[in-house]
Amino acid sequence: MKKEKILNAVFKGSAIFASVVVFAMWLLFFFEFIKHSLPSIRKFGFSFLANTVWDPVSENFGALPFIFGTVFSSFLALLISLPLSLGIAIFLNELAPLWMRKPVSFLVELLAAIPSVIYGMWGIFVLSPILRNHVQPFLSNHLGFLPLFGGPYYGIGMMSAVLILSIMIIPTISSVCREIFKAVPDVYRETGLSIGATKWEMIRISVLQTSRVGIFAAAGLGLGRALGETMAVTMVIGNRPEISFSLFAPGYTMASVIANEFTEATTDVYLSALTEIGFVLFLMTFFFSFISRMIVKKYTVSIHT
């Protein structure tokens, strides 16, 4: 009994220590970001978030083009990848024969193991030429009156970045959705089929409707991955600090500008401005994660009540 008490005390102390370490890491991140962002905060204030000019020579810095590029590309990538991920998860969990599930699931999960720089190289040498020579001319000729498909096209730009991001977050969303669908009791499926529902009606009502909270959580994880993606986006987005709703135009993200210019920052204000962009990205990912958790919690409570 004495030995068990000692082991229990050691286990409890280890768990508490791990929790304190995680909390301390968040505090350390926050403190360091604030400390190194102070010169930029003092000089530009809140105008830093609304200014569209990024001029290191005159030390005039504004983060709005990078915030726009990050949010715009991430949400478009989520809009593309979420239906595909749901389709993959439904097929593997509900429709695919047993002999096909493991190989296809392995191939999908293998996408998550590919290094980001490989995605970037594939985007430069394969995806961008296809977009420039075939896809973007077609879209420009037929849908050029829409703001999303207006202006000249280069292959390299926001469209390439969005497609790369959507491919990169598919494994995350689909794997989480598969686990959520597996957690749905089989009795829900059997009940739907027993009352005459078709296969699609059973999936829509018994699986998708029951799993909607988990699907939202999976989308939040995918969005978090897209917001912080750096190397692949940097290689294909064009890296031009401007605000444009055209998918053909080059853009810039917060992660990309940090990766590109951090080693070139020669002044304290320049370095501080880049650090403040990192701080904004840090707060943005925290905000979207917090909102996702709150919505999931709200729906979970409403389901139980």
Amino acid at 27: L
Integer Cα distance of 184 and 214 in angstroms: 11
Integer Cα distance of 143 and 135 in angstroms: 11
pLDDT-derived band at 112, boundaries 50, 70, 90:
confident
Check whether 3 has a pLDDT greater than 80.
no
Q: What's the mean pLDDT in 179-205? A: 85
Query: What topology is assigned to 2-304 in CATH?
Result: MetI-like fold (1.10.3720)
Check whether 159 has a pLDDT greater than 90.
yes
Query: 10 Å Cβ neighbour count for 50?
Result: 12
Q: Are strands 54-55 and 60-61 parallel, antiparallel or unpaired?
A: antiparallel
At residue 90, the pLDDT reads 92
Closest alpha carbon to 109 in 55, 24, 172, 38: 172
Q: Which residues contact 165 (CB under 8 A, 6 or more apart)?
A: 73, 74, 77, 81, 226, 229, 232, 233
- pLDDT tens figures, 219-262: 988 898 899 888 999 999 999 999 999 999 999 999 999 999 98
Torsion angle in degrees (nearest 10) through CA of 74, 293, 207, 204: -50
Closest alpha carbon to 166 in 242, 85, 96: 85
Residue ranges per structural domain of the chain: 2-304
- The whole model's pTM is what? 0.88
Q: Where are the beta strands (DSSP E) in the chain?
A: 54-55, 60-61
Helix axes 64-90, 158-183, angle to 10 degrees: 40
Q: What's the mean pLDDT in 270-278? A: 93
Check whether 89 has a pLDDT greater than 50.
yes
Comparing 197-211, 227-241, 266-280, which segment has the lowest mean pLDDT?
A: 197-211
- pLDDT tens figures, 43-86: 998 899 999 999 988 889 999 999 999 999 999 999 999 999 99
Check whether 303 has a pLDDT greater than 50.
no
